[in-house]
Structure 1
Amino acid sequence: MSNTPFRIGFLPLVDAALPILARELGLAEAERIDLTLVRDMSWATVNDRLLYGHSDAAHLLAPLAIATTLGLGRPATPLSVPFVLGLNGNAITLRPDLAEQITTVGEPGDITMIGTRLAAIARAARDGGNVLRFGVVHRYSSHNYMLRYWLAGCGLDPDRDVRIVTVAPPFAADALAGGEVDGICVGEPWNSVAVDRGAGVIVAVTSQIWLRGVEKVLAMRTARIDEDPDPTQRVIRALYRAGEAFVDPARLDDIAAILARPEYLDGSADLIRRAISDQIRFARGHELVHVPDFMFQHREAANFPWVSQAAWLYAQMCRAGHTSADQAEYRAAQHVFRPDIYRAALRPLGVPLPGASSKLEGGIGDPLGVGTTQGRLILGADRFFDARSFDPEALSDYLENAASR
């Protein structure tokens, strides 16, 4: 039986690792998938390629999959997310002179205190007619929503006190170095590129904002899955095996070398190795710092598409004014994440599968055993920096409370 051709679009980011490893380690081939990877330079292009049928799936921003399904900014095309490619892995990097005013350069700090100091500077800059500019990778990105969540939680109005603009990930360090923006929120290795150039200082990582926050996903046109679910399930199994390899400490050097190749990230294997081993250099000339769970993969069902993650992202879209809360739309947004497909694909492997499809986001403070349909599963903390939680059954209350803050 011949292998099934399957194309996945991606951007040169460390969290594209699992599709890359599925191909390079022969894991897709073992599932009879002839996997082709197509590299692009912007999320808009990755999404267009997916929507127009030039690819079968995409390494995609989780909120963009929801926005596309809802028809925000373009005609609606239903997408499904059967697999999460990674949690966290982003950072907020500011120009060095700004970072020096709000944090101890070169080391992680209390991000509430850092944000409060930044808020005072941002308001003064606004009043002086020189509004601070922050670059994020897309309007509908977790980068944008986590940055906005942090800024709002520290007393800033993300729409009035600062300006948030879009910069494609490969150009984020250039934009910071060129003075086009005062800060960036982007995935690795682009924060580290800015740090090594001396163009920026990391002041926060997104795991400090929302520990275990959803980041990139495998997105597919729902119609493509419905036509024939079998290839999708085989791809998911290959990606799961790639996750097993990704978290193996003995394979760090090999994985970093693969990702650094010109056809993939086309960058420094050393910078990439830092990210996948949770070793972050916050400022040039300083020592590496171990940031536990900076980039979270595979463990604790990290690749499971929790419906409540999609619900939280929809809530942030409402807070940002990108849509208005609507129950039918809310149900459609949640349905983008497909735990049913994840379970169907991985059940034959005997791996732990959560029994629930939704949970209280931000509600786990200590390791917690959860119900499963097979195997045993313990989830670690998933707290938000402000100690708030999100109940997907109480969207209206959440938005009312957020508006009154």
Structure 2
Amino acid sequence: MKRITIGFIPLTDAAPLIAAHERGFADEEGLAFDLVREVSWANIRDKLSVGLFDAAHMLTPLAIASALGIGHVTVPLIAPATLALNGNAITLSAAFVRELGGALPEDPVAALPLFAAAIKRRSEAGLSPPVFAATFPYSTHNYILRAYFAAGGIDPDRDVQLVVIPPPLMAGSLEKGLIDGFCVGSPWNSVAVDRGAGHILTPSSALFARIPEKTLAIGDTLAGGDPDTLRAIVAATAEGAAWCADPANALELAAMLSAPHYLGVSAPLVLRTIEGRLVFTPGGPTRSVPDFIRYDVPGTVRPDAGRYAWLYAQMVRWGQTRFDPTIPRRIASLIRTDIYDAAMPGLLPPAEADPIGSILEPAFDPADLAGYLARFDERGLPKLRA
């Protein structure tokens, strides 16, 4: 039995790894997954970098940035399995909802003029701009917030203040009035609502239909080692993801994830997030959110180069790095689809013209990164079209 030490953050998108361990899929592959709970993404990256973790549940943009040496020293790794699509939401404090007029429209785009008006009122009164939290600079949460504000002509670097807070601390920060809103993965949006501290503005899937939220990052030592071990790790993870994707397993999965050493959140709340039945306002009814979080095989788990290319384009768009035309080739080396294909032979997802499915922006063409980036000005805001 080969032991594999894996770091994770308490989020529902760690479920494929947890299920692989708890349901015996890792055992069947001759592996023992030792899952280590962490509090911050910096810890995850750094412990993977120095070899304290063999692998990790990691923000997909962080895996890209780490492998490419963007914003940090290069961390040699590969990302041969995506753990989940979507699963995020933007949540606002009760006080900020009152600033917006006391009720949120169901269409998040319709709320953008309300944001702009509230920001203007604060500015005219000499008050600080609203503060919104993401979980890390290289995160889907950061890019979702930025793209959302930009769609309403709001400059995320001037008109609001963006800060970084680890996922488990988001709800508490909202409760204490330290921030006006946040974007984070489940279950922490629902935790804020159940505490009466937050109102969900929108799930991320209502803005972008297929964002690769987390990846299985494998460190240098394992990545350069025995190919059979790599295949076994990916196979166990994919089997765990497929088990999580089966609605018949939702009750058991919720109970599993709710354990104190995993999420430490009540099973009924976790169940709502798994099933996409969200409560948007404290004491309000549940609303069904199709594809709120996806674990399906192969559509989710097999890494999609186009989705990774979109995340890289966000790094360029928001000034985190300069455009490099060699990136598509380097992404192919990062995601190593050959490992997935060896682990799950014959399970290939259908091709998609737009891998992201943006509601906020025109369709994304991975073959034309330069054309995509040309749509935005130097601040990352959409260019006005004649």
> Normalised by the size of structure 2, how large is the TM-score?
0.93
- Range with bigger deviation, 185-194 or 299-308: 299-308
Q: Give 2:200's match in structure 1, choosing from 182, 198, 202.
A: 202
User: Higher relative CO (CA 8 A, sep ≥ 6), structure 1 or 2?
Assistant: 2
* Distance 1:181-1:336 versus aligned 2 partners, 3 A rule: same
Over residues 365-391 of structure 1, what are the superposed CA-to-partner deviations in whole Å (9 max), with x where a residue is unaligned? xxxxxxxxxxxxxxxxx5212251111
Over residues 283-337 of structure 1, what are the superposed CA-to-partner deviations in whole Å (9 max), with x where a residue is unaligned? 1111111111111111561111111111101110011110111223454345322
Contact 2:82 2:301 in 1 (8 A): yes
In structure 2, list runs of 5 or more residues that go unmatched. Answer: 378-382
Over residues 198-257 of structure 1, what are the superposed CA-to-partner deviations in whole Å (9 max), with x where a residue is unaligned? 111000110011002110110112552222121121111111211222122222211111
Residue 119 (structure 2) aligns with: 122
Residue 161 (structure 2) aligns with: 163
Counterpart CA distance in 1 for 2:123 and 2:343 is: 51
Identity of aligned residues (%): 40
Q: Give 1:361's match in structure 2, choosing from 354, 359, 362.
A: 354
Contact 1:126 1:162 in 2 (8 A): no
Over residues 259-304 of structure 1, what are the superposed CA-to-partner deviations in whole Å (9 max), with x where a residue is unaligned? 1111111111111111101110101111111111111111561111
Residue 380 (structure 2) aligns with: none
* Distance 1:206-1:46 versus aligned 2 partners, 3 A rule: same
Counterpart CA distance in 2 for 1:216 and 1:49 is: 17
Q: How many residues align?
A: 378
Residue 388 (structure 1) aligns with: 362
Counterpart CA distance in 1 for 2:192 and 2:273 is: 14
Alignment of 1:9-20 (within 5 A): 9-20=7-18
Secondary structure at the aligned position of 2:91 is classed as: strand
Counterpart CA distance in 1 for 2:174 and 2:17 is: 29
For the aligned residue pairs, the C-alpha RMSD in angstroms reads: 1.9
- Range with bigger deviation, 290-299 or 9-18: 290-299
Secondary structure at the aligned position of 2:374 is classed as: helix
Contact 2:189 2:200 in 1 (8 A): yes
Secondary structure at the aligned position of 1:55 is classed as: coil
In structure 1, list runs of 5 or more residues that go unmatched. Answer: 363-381
- Range with bigger deviation, 13-22 or 321-330: 321-330
- Range with bigger deviation, 133-142 or 112-121: 112-121
Counterpart CA distance in 2 for 1:72 and 1:124 is: 37
Q: Give 1:397's match in structure 2, choosing from 371, 374, 380.
A: 371
* Distance 1:10-1:166 versus aligned 2 partners, 3 A rule: same
Residue 305 (structure 2) aligns with: 307
Secondary structure at the aligned position of 2:264 is classed as: coil
Counterpart CA distance in 2 for 1:330 and 1:156 is: 30
* Distance 1:233-1:95 versus aligned 2 partners, 3 A rule: same
* Distance 1:155-1:161 versus aligned 2 partners, 3 A rule: same
